[in-house]
Structure 1
Amino acid sequence: MTDPAETAAPERSPWADAVLAAALFAVDPAGTVGVALRSLPGLARDRWLLTLRQLLPEGAPVRRLPHHVGDSRLLGGLDLAATLRAGRPIAERGILTETDGGVLIAAMAERMSAGTAARIGAVLDNGGVTVERDGIAIDAPTRFGIVALDEGMTEDEQPPTALADRLAFRLNFEGVSAEPPADDAPDADDIATARERLDGIVARDDVVEALCGTALSLGVWSLRAPLQALAVARAHAALMGRDEIAKEDAAVAARLVLAPRATRLPLPPPEEETPPDDQQQDEPPPPDGKNEEQENVEDRPLEDMILDAAKAAIPSGLLEQLRLQGRIKPRIPSTGRAGHLQKTKLRGRPAGVRRGEPRAGGARLNLIETLRAAAPWQPLRRRERALAGETERSARIEVRKDDFRITRFKQKTETATIFVVDASGSSALHRLAEAKGAVELLLADCYVRRDQVAMVSFRGKVAEILLPPTRSLVRAKRNLAGLPGGGGTPLACGIDLAVALADQIRRKGQTPFIILLTDGSANIARDGSPGRPKAEEDALASARLLRAAGLTALLVDTAPHPRPLARKIAAEMDAMYLPLPYADAAAISGAVKAVSPPRESLAG
């Protein structure tokens, strides 16, 4: 078959790369580990899964992972029905053991719990399942690949990092349509031949160093990424019938593995000094009329060629996002994480079981897990009854108080985003119109995520709540449109009112997040007296109060020229600082969404 690397990367369609990824994954599922496929259910996704099934060896197991799978079904555990029939502990194989040598398909991977992802990751790293509980011991080797179907609608809906970081391929089918099979597309016979050749593929040291250097240049900090790229390059070499990884194989690996993980643009090469004109005239022409430019291309370092292949595969939209993020100081919030999961007793999603009595606080008895806990002890309890002289017929299963298991639940808290808008004269003169437009775009995004929104404005000598927490997008837009501008900048009053409103939101069991849009030109103190020194001192004190409250915040500096005071206030708030001196409403909105804290799931 024709080497796909011979076709220039920009000319290849996303579907062609997706089919190539399926072929390389089929060659070495355990080595490449898996594919993170971001796509809603549709024709393209179904066609890709069908293509993968056709490329896998005949008889290779393909298992689907249920969304709410328990540990006993995932890893293996006590077979309750067989145990009760036999009167002794009987073990059952888990899904991961049953998938040995095949592929595990995880639907709705963006909703997978962190605990399930961690257990799968441990099995992948160890190459087997080891379980010791409920009176049984399981030690079963298993090696498989994973297809994580990501159906997330927003950027914060992603598969757990413990799973996604281990998967070599990241495919996005947004706007991608299925195409007819290419003439040079691999088939099952090509995959079978490549599998036989895979173990003999040699990787030179310069190829390994080039892949590692490319990962560093693109800001890919995970140590697994170069290893995954090397596995993909080895699979591609086997598919092309080579015995050694060539530069074309490494370029394909960089395009499919490293480019989707890029977090920054590579630094440009240093400019070479131009020799004087007299030296240029003395240099002899290239021998045999050979083009000097072509000679330089052939003599380019391997790492530069691989890096160019990766850069060509980065979408233009991602390039713009990377350029924008280069101006932002990222910060991972430690508290006030939006949309976290809280433990409950009777409502929400099941989050495991624990020992306890069902009458304690209205908790629910988990009958299956109670029987599972009691089953291994039945022979011992029968012998105890016999030694005690109990001859009357007793229950077939004896359940004691220590066997009771109750179900734990977890429920996602609601998120309330508080927009604090500087409507003072200085801000109105500079950026109030853009700030209004950005807030309107962010309000629409919050409405889509079903978050509550609130609005606080400050100008003149006071701050006021324009909009209490609500989900009404129409009401929010109406209040925003009527926001007047002018007067002084009571920045301290605005921060204080936002902290008080966030405290009320917390008391309702919701998670507040504060977005402060200001030019940082504080000139009105808390008591309403004018004067820049006192106003700045009060603003810094209010910022320290916000940090002490443990609130997550973002300060957007909307001044034409970023002010040192705004950066200092953000530092005192322990907030993310985002200077956007010449951005329009769409740019402000996009930047805020890019650095807003993710709605991560905390273990319940």
Structure 2
Amino acid sequence: MTFPFTAVLGADPMRTALILNAVSPQIGGVLVRGEKGTAKSTAVRGLAELLPTLRSAAGCRFGCDPQAPEPACPDGPHPAGDGLEHRPRLVELPVGASEDRVIGSLDLERALGEGVTAFQPGLLAAAHRGVLYVDEVNLLADHLVDVLLDAAAMGRNHVERDGVSVSHPARFLLIGSMNPEEGELRPQLLDRFGLAVDVAASRDPKIRVEVVRRRLAADADPDAFARRWAPQQHDLAARIAAARDRLPHVRLGDGALVRIAEVCAAFDVDGMRADIVMARTALAHAAWNDRDEVTTDDVRAAALLALPHRRRRNPFDEPGLDEKQLDDVLDRPDDDPEPDPGPAGGPPPAGPDDGPGDGQGDDGAGGDTGRPETTTPDAGPSDAGTRDGATPDSAPADPEPAGAEASDARPSGTGGPTPPTASDGPAAQRSAPVGAAGRVRRLTGSGRAAATPGRRAQARTGAGRTTGVLPAGAPAGPPHLPATLAAAAPHQAARGRGSGPVRFRVQDVRRAERRGREGNLVLFVVDASGSMGARSRMSEVKGAVLGLLLDAYQRRDKVGLITFRDAGAEVVLPPTSSVDFAARRLAAIPTGGRTPLAAGLVTAGRVIDGERLRDPLRRPLVLLMTDGRADNSTAVRAGAALRGHDLVVVDCERGPVRLGLARRLAADLGADYLPLGEFTTEGEAA
């Protein structure tokens, strides 16, 4: 059973964004960011049941509109008629999907069995005129992100591979959900989401009780629960359909357009996509609230949903929007009277880069829209039929209907620095500020064997360009059709082939070797002893780490952070794809006490061993940042835990008199050596 959308309690900005996209799919989709257990997937899956029905040509695998079929449809020409009526499809794209499954590929069964070239459509074809949902979109592989970007920009899917040449429409509503703890999105994909919202579990016990009550009721008797919420579902679907019908007649006056332009300029957003998305969102918001003209309240609601994720300049910027600044811009009096209105109705004309699904983004969040006029379009038993921006009460008036995904408590984090004890002394109480993050020289691992795809060293990966053919029996890699045919050809006479299809055996199958760039586990092992607190040394170290965190973000690495000081070592941050979390933990590292270097190396080995169980192909790159003032003989014995891994010793010793201890430590450990000054060079990164 699909959990009813109207039974999802709370998360008002998320429901607002989803319903506005249902009213106007041209907005370009939604990115939902939030902690685990906040009904993100539940709400998205429930939305599909509320979308107005459409018709598709009978027998068309690409969902052509029978009234305006695609002239070059691979399944065409289509017979005349009204086609088949159905609801738009909700197609889920798994983060582990192969590229062939997403874009489509050669139908191997027909190619090998019948000897014909036939195309097997992928998920993009299935999502045409429907919804494409990517859960955990921030974990999507880069090669799949590239595919989505192309399809979202052009509204078409082009396939040129393995003797197949196919082009078909792929216009869909793109919805993604993610937990920011697990890493951020690429800026290009982030901008392809029209709206972005943050969701969090309510801290009101009454709401949490009702959430659990509804979820338990849905699990106990799904059919009865669905019947109980059917009237609210019907009312909300009818209201969405009515708003769609009203949308072409809503007027977007020049005054509202000026307000949109002023807001986008005031918040310094890049390009014109934000202006276009805001205009479409304001139109949909006005239509949803039964208005025939866009007002300032509609513009404000659109800004809170469309701008926060577009203001982010680097992965360490906090997403969000200064609502006071927004109100100051919107409340500013016009310098000139509003000019004569233009043609009434409809969204603004598309810009030169505004293709199907255009105007989309990631990260950030609207939060609650704040004013009562910027309504949350939701309909439950206590709020069905609300109009004119009336926001329903946060707590349900009628607790009888039950359902909505239970929300987990807010995550407590994955670790953090232990507060210093009294025995640590005054030095342990200090936390050096983070120095400026400079451009860093490029660091790479060995990059020799099969690896997790990323953007650091060259390696054999599951994505990238085809560079060769793997031998028979290779366990991984896509089939290499020409090599497979070449391997089978000499045996056709012995296998009794006449004029029929080619006869294959398992031993004929060859696979393509693809080489690209790998993603590493960049593990920072930072000396936080008392000697590192001198001469602003720790501040420089933190600045260097911050620069490397930015580099790790750009190269799709996972990062981890270990510190050692006084009595032992601590995993401040277990391996994660969220460089944001690493940057926050970095700022809180205190200094003081002795230098237990051996404990830091042993802890690094344990972290690597644990991570290899989860991701055996991701190779570690260990950065040991220390001034070397430790017992090297003990450290060398402990360093055996890192033997075979890429290890770099970053010499943090500064000042006119240097002992060179870190250089000797690097030689003893068999590691590469790099002075901190070279590490933080401001020159262009390689």
Would the TM-score normalized by the shorter structure come out above 0.5?
Answer: yes
For structure 1, which segment, 344-353 or 392-401, has the greater mean C-alpha deviation from structure 2 after superposition? 392-401
Q: What is aligned with 2:29?
A: 34
* SS class of match (2:181): coil
Q: Equivalents in 2 of 1:169, 1:192: separation in Å?
A: 21
In structure 2, distance between residues paired with 1:257 and 1:473: 44
Indicate whether 1:195 and 2:244 are aligned. Answer: yes
Match of 2:21 in 1: 25
Q: Secondary structure at the match of 1:214?
A: helix
SS in 2 for 1:187: helix
Paired residue type of 1:258: L
Please give the per-residue CA displacement for 1:484-529, whole angstroms capped at 9, x wherever unaligned.
Answer: xxxxxxxxx965889x99x99998444769697x9xxx6651259x
3-state DSSP class of the match of 2:96? coil
Deviations 1:457-499 (A, max 9, x none): 9999x99946442327999xxxxxxxxxxxxxxxxx965889x
Matches within 5 A, 1:120-519: 120-154=148-182, 157-176=183-202, 187-221=236-270, 223-263=272-312, 299=333, 333=440, 335-336=442-443, 344-345=449-450, 351-352=462-463, 354=466, 356-359=468-471, 364=474, 366=476, 369-371=479-481, 374=484, 396-397=503-504, 404-406=511-513, 412-421=519-528, 423-424=530-531, 427=534, 443-447=570-574, 449=576, 465=597, 467-471=599-603, 508-510=644-646
Contact kept, 8 Å, 1:38 with 1:152, in 2: the verdict is yes
- What secondary structure is seen at the aligned counterpart in 1 of 2:470? coil
Higher-helix-fraction structure: 1
- Taking a change above 3 Å as real, the CA distance of residues 184 and 202 of structure 1, as seen in their structure-2 partners, is farther
Q: Which whole-Å CA distance do the structure 1 matches of 2:176 and 2:674 have between them? A: 34
- SS of structure 1 residue aligned to 2:244: helix
Q: Secondary structure at the match of 1:471?
A: helix
Match for residue 658 of structure 2 among 515, 526, 541: 526
**CA distance change for structure 1 residues 301 and 168 in 2, over 3 Å: closer, same or farther?**
farther
Cα distance in 2, alignment partners of residues 34 and 391 from structure 1: 54
Structure 1 pair 56/311, CA: closer, same or farther in 2 (3 Å)?
closer
User: Hey, what's the Cα distance between the residues in 1 that align with 2:537 and 2:450?
Assistant: 51
Partner Cα separation in structure 2 for residue 572 and residue 313 of structure 1: 45
The more displaced of 398-407 and 67-76 is 398-407
Displacement after TM superposition at 1:138 (Å): 1.1
Uncovered stretches (5+) of structure 1, i.e. residues with no partner: 1-12, 270-295, 303-308, 315-326, 476-492, 529-538, 540-548, 554-568, 577-596, 598-604
Shift of 1:358: 3.1
Aligned partners of 1:431, 1:230: CA distance in 2, in Å? 48
* Cα 1:449–1:68 shift into 2, 3 Å: closer
Give the fraction of aligned pairs with identical amino acids, expressed as a percent.
Answer: 19
Query: Gaps (5+ residues) in structure 2?
Result: 1-8, 54-86, 203-207, 215-228, 337-364, 371-433, 454-459, 543-561, 608-624, 663-671
Does structure 2 conserve the Cα–Cα contact (< 8 Å) formed by 1:109 and 1:150? yes
Deviation of residue 128 (structure 1)?
Answer: 0.8
1:144 and 1:166 mapped to 2: Cα distance?
A: 12
Deviation, 1:192, is 1.3
> 2:196 and 2:650 mapped to 1: Cα distance?
33
CA contact (8 A) 1:37 1:173 kept: yes
Per the TM alignment, residue 125 of structure 1 is displaced from its structure 2 partner at its CA by 0.6
Q: Equivalent residue for 2:146?
A: 118
The equivalent residue for 2:124 is 96
For 2:115, the equivalent position in structure 1 comes to 87
The separation in 2 between residues aligned to 1:205 and 1:550, in whole angstroms, is 62
Task: Single out whichever of 393-402 and 145-154 deviates more from structure 2.
Answer: 393-402
Whether contact under 8 Å (2:569, 2:596) holds in the other structure is no
> Deviation digits for residues 263-307 of structure 1, max 9, x if unmatched?
4887999xxxxxxxxxxxxxxxxxxxxxxxxxx9684789xxxxx
Mapped to 2, the partners of 1:352 and 1:89 lie a distance apart of 24
Q: 1:88 to 1:334 in 2, by over 3 A?
A: farther
Question: Contact (CA 8 Å) 1:135, 1:376: kept in 2 or not?
Answer: no
Computed over aligned residues only, the root mean square deviation of the Cα atoms, in angstroms, reads 6.0
Alpha-carbon deviations, 1:129-187, whole Å to 9, x = none? 11222222211112111221213534xx1233332221122223333468799999981
Describe the SS at the equivalent of 1:228. Answer: helix
Alpha-carbon distance in 2 for matches of 1:16, 1:458: 44
CA distances 1:513-553 after superposition (whole Å, capped 9, x unpaired):
9697x9xxx6651259xxxxxxxxxx9xxxxxxxxx89797
Change (3 A) 1:497 1:207: farther
- Once the two structures are TM-superposed, the CA of residue 14 in structure 1 deviates from its matched residue by 6.6
Q: Displacement of 1:189 after TM fit?
A: 1.4
1:109 aligns with 2:219: no
Which residue does 2:93 correspond to in 1?
A: 65
**Corresponding residue of 1:600:** none
Q: Matched residue of 1:132: which SS?
A: strand
How many Å separate the matches in 2 of 1:395 and 1:252? 62
How far apart in 2 are the matches of 1:85 and 1:160?
A: 41
